[in-house]
Amino acid sequence: MMVYIGQTASKALIRRLIGYGFGECVQPDEWPPRRHPWFLDNAAYRAWANKEEWNPAPFEYVLGACKSWPPDFVIAPDVVAGGADSMALSLSWVSRIPYPAYLAVQDGMTEANVAAALPRFAGLFVGGSLPWKIRGAHHWVNLAHKHGKPCHIGRVGTARRVRWAKRIGADSIDSCLPLWAEDKLQGFVRALKDTQMELGVAQCGEQHI
């Protein structure tokens, strides 16, 4: 499972995150990235959380500026918990994104509608409200994999959620929580190691079945 952590200006912390193999989640106003690999968020969640209208200009600027340092993927513009409105917005943008574009699934979307749109996208990004995400993320992971595409889950910062994301088969996750304090970073890293050990034990057991 690939991990992307938000951006930090601390050189010491950057070295540690690189050592852990963590990529970077970049907001448009944080261009350029400080680590590689990286993916581009569209900042819709940040605008929603701050009760602000989303401004597409910084997002468009980065799409044009990152040709020499392309992202792993880009989250197509979306509407948090926006259902059909979010789907319509993402579909209106996908042809304008010259990199692998992920469709953000949101509260109110159905598996049938997402499956119909999925051929136009490189993967799925599980967004939405937290209760909705926790309740249904495994369905979106399964749907993406059924279509041969990866599934990323956003805002997976606690140890418990890291283990959950690994258990349901997420291909990648992101969070800024490990940047907040040393204990949060250490708990995050331990959870990742725990899931790797659990996976190793499972695989070892399967060899003897």
Span 45-74, pLDDT tens digits:
999 999 999 999 999 999 999 999 999 999
Residue whose pair of structure tokens reads 């250490």 in the numeric block: 186
Q: What is the mean pLDDT of residues 161-190?
A: 97
The per-residue pLDDT for 59 is 98
Q: What is the mean pLDDT of residues 110-114?
A: 97
- Does residue 207 have a pLDDT over 70? no
Binning pLDDT at 50, 70 and 90, where does residue 147 land?
very high
Q: What is the mean pLDDT of residues 6-34?
A: 97
The per-residue pLDDT for 195 is 67
Best CA proximity match to 54, nearest among 73, 71, 63, 41:
41
- Does residue 152 have a pLDDT over 90? yes
- Stated pTM of the model: 0.91
Give 2-207's CATH code, choosing from 3.20.20.105, 3.40.1390.20, 2.60.40.10, 3.40.50.2000.
3.20.20.105
- Does residue 199 have a pLDDT over 60? no
DSSP line for the chain: -EEEEE----HHHHHHHHHHT-EEEE-GGGPSPSSSSEEE--SHHHHHHTT-----HHHHHHHHH-TTS--S-EE----TT-HHHHHHHHHHHGGG--S-EEEEE-TT--HHHHHHHGGGSSEEEE-S-HHHHHHHHHHHHHHHHHTT--EEES---SHHHHHHHHHTT-SEEEESGGGT-HHHHHHHHHHHHHHHHHHHHHHHHHHT-
Distance from C-alpha of 63 to C-alpha of 112, rounded to nearest angstrom? 30
The per-residue pLDDT for 197 is 43
Q: What is the mean pLDDT of residues 79-91?
A: 97
Average pLDDT, the chain: 93
- Does residue 91 have a pLDDT over 70? yes
Q: What is the mean pLDDT of residues 124-146?
A: 96
Binning pLDDT at 50, 70 and 90, where does residue 194 land?
confident
The per-residue pLDDT for 124 is 98
The per-residue pLDDT for 202 is 33
The per-residue pLDDT for 196 is 59
